[in-house]
């Protein structure tokens, strides 16, 4: 028994649940997808029935605009297929570890299919012994990871899935994420540098563009999102190790009348136009391609840059299934597993208590009391 390889022992069934936002799978899905988004209390924190009616109103008004956005990319979001690729790659890597677990990756999207209810039922049918929740958001926000995990726990209760849960909170400076990003940014930067040299213009400026959030999400709720975005960008810049790099962080995709965090990506593109500098745009909060990268960055912002006669506009692709990103996710799963073994599972009844968080100094989640045995 002592010398028996792990693969010959009965392995525990470990479900890894990958969360993302989800996107419409066709033009008819755009309005209900938007309704689900605006009806989430993590996005609009009004009590019902006010939130419900406001979500109906905003989704009806925004649907034609959003449909036009998705029309540019075949009327639907590619997010699910790309997330499925990540899930497959991660599952293969985890099952190659021979560490006593049979792993299966499941996907739960927050605002479109596959919804948490269906995925939780699939996890139950598979007979998982435990669950690791893995948001595909390196930086924590209550509007994204927080909302998905809360909804997952609701779904577990609904379908009677009782396997213990441990949540990976965030991984803004995970070495795999940072190295994969730095490698891709370096390629984009060098391309832009060559084009700039040919045109006889100065060296490019890097814009790390993250999805924005309303200011109150940071100042009132205490989300660590913005400070973690800055940490991610700094870590990528450090890894690239290019002397005198001109770079900054900015925020895209503003919706609605509230005040959002800034500076906005549009403002920074306009400033680059005035300065006459070439641009390299790096999406730092997204790990897959979708409307916000393929339409907003590649079409809408590029048009602004062209109008302003910005000499070079290079957009770096998201990490998707880059092998180093996937091996970084393996590290996150392993560390979350160690936290589960050491401290026990998340507190089911409480949204955040007991999560594994590698970024304790800035993360609001870490300020919640942790499991027994953790300082
Ligand atoms: C880090 C990721 C994201 C944060 C933070 C986030 C916050 C947030 N988003 C909206 C409103 C919309 N977001 C939309 C699309 C969208 N958002 C993210 C990620 C984050 N959102 C992704 C990955 C996508 C793309 C989905 C896809 O195409 O597959 C949309 C729909 C598109 C549109 O109409 O522009 C809206 C609306 C708010 C209000 C918010 C924080 C409060
Ligand atoms: Fe969004
Ligand atoms: Fe965290």
pLDDT for 76-108, tens place per residue?
A: 999 999 999 999 999 999 999 988 999 999 999
Cα dist. 374→109, 169, 305, 316, 339 in Å? 31, 16, 50, 39, 9
In this structure, the residue with its CA closest to atom 27 of ligand 1 is 23
Tell me: is residue 211 an annotated ligand-binding position: yes
As a whole number, the mean pLDDT across the chain is: 93
Residues 30 and 168 in one domain: yes
- Answer whether 100's CB lies under 8 Å from 12's CB: yes
Listed in order, strand segments (DSSP E) in the chain are 12-20, 101-109, 130-135, 165-167, 205-211, 246-252, 279-283, 313-315
Q: Is residue 76 in some structural domain?
A: yes
Residue 364's pLDDT is 60
Q: Please tell me which residue, 374 or 240, carries the higher pLDDT value.
A: 240
Residue 255's pLDDT is 85
pTM greater than 0.90 (yes/no): yes
Range(s) of the domain holding residue 133:
9-172+323-367
pLDDT category of residue 3 using cuts at 50, 70 and 90: low
Mean pLDDT along residues 253-267: 92
pLDDT category of residue 263 using cuts at 50, 70 and 90: very high
Rounded to two decimals, the ipTM of the complex is 0.93
**Using a 6 Å cutoff on CB, does residue 21 contact ligand 1?**
yes
**Using a 6 Å cutoff on CB, does residue 214 contact ligand 1?**
yes
Q: What is the token pair recorded at 311?
A: 């000499």
What CA–CA distance (Å, rounded) separates 159 from 10?
A: 26
Cα dist. 264→60, 83, 146, 217, 270 in Å? 26, 27, 24, 16, 10
pLDDT category of residue 327 using cuts at 50, 70 and 90: very high
Domain count along the chain: 2
271: CATH? 3.40.50.1400
Q: Is the peptide bond before 217 cis (omega within 30 degrees of 0)?
A: no
Residue 371's pLDDT is 41
Q: Is residue 60 in some structural domain?
A: yes
Residues 156 and 199 in one domain: no
Residue 222's pLDDT is 87
Residues 221 and 292 in one domain: yes
pLDDT category of residue 372 using cuts at 50, 70 and 90: very low
Give the 3-state secondary structure of residue 107: strand
Residue 350's pLDDT is 75
* Closest to 172 measured CA to CA, from 139, 199, 200, 150: 139
Residue 370's pLDDT is 44
**Using a 6 Å cutoff on CB, does residue 209 contact ligand 1?**
no
Ligand number with the minimum distance to the CA of 352: 3
**Using a 6 Å cutoff on CB, does residue 144 contact ligand 1?**
yes
Least confident of 9-13, 43-47, 205-209, 246-250: 9-13
Residues 17 and 71 in one domain: yes
Q: Is residue 373 in some structural domain?
A: no
Query: How far away, in angstroms, is 34 Cα from ligand 1 center?
Result: 9
The preferred substitution site among 291, 297, 299, 300 for testing ligand 1, maximizing ligand atoms within 8 Å of CB, is 291
Q: How do strand 279-283 and strand 130-135 relate by DSSP bridges?
A: unpaired
What CA–CA distance (Å, rounded) separates 58 from 35?
A: 8
For residue 106, what are the β-bridge partners?
Answer: 17
Mean pLDDT along residues 169-198: 97
Q: Is residue 4 in some structural domain?
A: no
Residues 101 and 62 in one domain: yes
Q: 124: how many CB neighbours lie within 10 A of its CB?
A: 16
Residues 310 and 188 in one domain: yes
**Using a 6 Å cutoff on CB, does residue 37 contact ligand 1?**
yes
pLDDT in tens, 274-311: 999 999 999 999 999 999 999 999 999 999 999 999 99
Residues 279 and 356 in one domain: no
* Closest to 108 measured CA to CA, from 141, 92, 131: 131
């Amino acid at each position: 028994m002592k010398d028996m390889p792990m693969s010959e022992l009965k392995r525990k069934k470990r479900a890894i649940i990958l969360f993302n936002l989800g996107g419409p799978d066709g033009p008819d899905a755009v309005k209900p997808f938007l309704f689900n988004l605006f009806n989430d209390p993590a996005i609009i924190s009004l009590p019902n029935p006010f939130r419900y009616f406001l979500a109906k109103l905003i989704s009806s008004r925004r649907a034609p605009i959003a449909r036009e956005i998705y029309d540019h990319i075949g009327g639907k979001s590619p997010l699910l297929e790309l997330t499925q690729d990540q899930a497959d790659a991660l599952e293969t890597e985890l099952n190659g570890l021979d560490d006593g677990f049979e792993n299966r990756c499941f996907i739960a999207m927050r605002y479109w299919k596959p919804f948490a209810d269906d995925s939780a039922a699939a996890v139950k049918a598979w007979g998982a012994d435990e669950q690791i929740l893995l948001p595909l958001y390196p930086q924590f926000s209550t509007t994204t990871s927080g909302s998905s995990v809360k909804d997952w726990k609701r779904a577990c209760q609904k379908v009677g899935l009782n396997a213990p849960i441990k949540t990976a909170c965030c991984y803004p400076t995970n070495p795999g994420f940072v190295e994969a990003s730095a490698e891709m940014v370096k390629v984009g930067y060098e391309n832009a540098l060559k084009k700039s040299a040919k045109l006889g213009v100065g060296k490019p400026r890097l814009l790390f563009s993250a999805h924005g959030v309303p200011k109150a999400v940071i100042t009132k709720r205490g989300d660590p999102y913005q400070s973690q975005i800055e940490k991610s960008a700094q870590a990528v810049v450090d890894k690239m190790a290019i002397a005198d790099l001109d770079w900054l962080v900015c925020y895209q995709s503003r919706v609605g009348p509230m005040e959002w965090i800034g500076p906005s990506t549009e403002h920074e593109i306009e400033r680059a136009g005035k300065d006459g500098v070439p641009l390299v745009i790096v999406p730092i909060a997204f790990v897959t391609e979708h409307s916000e990268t393929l339409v907003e960055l590649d079409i809408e912002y590029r048009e602004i840059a062209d109008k302003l006669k910005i000499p070079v506009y290079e957009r770096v692709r998201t990490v998707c299934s880059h092998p180093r990103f996937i091996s970084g996710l393996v590290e996150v799963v392993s560390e979350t597993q160690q936290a589960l073994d050491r401290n026990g599972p998340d507190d089911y009844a409480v949204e955040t208590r007991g999560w594994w968080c590698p970024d304790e100094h800035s993360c609001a989640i870490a300020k919640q009391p942790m499991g027994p045995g953790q300082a």
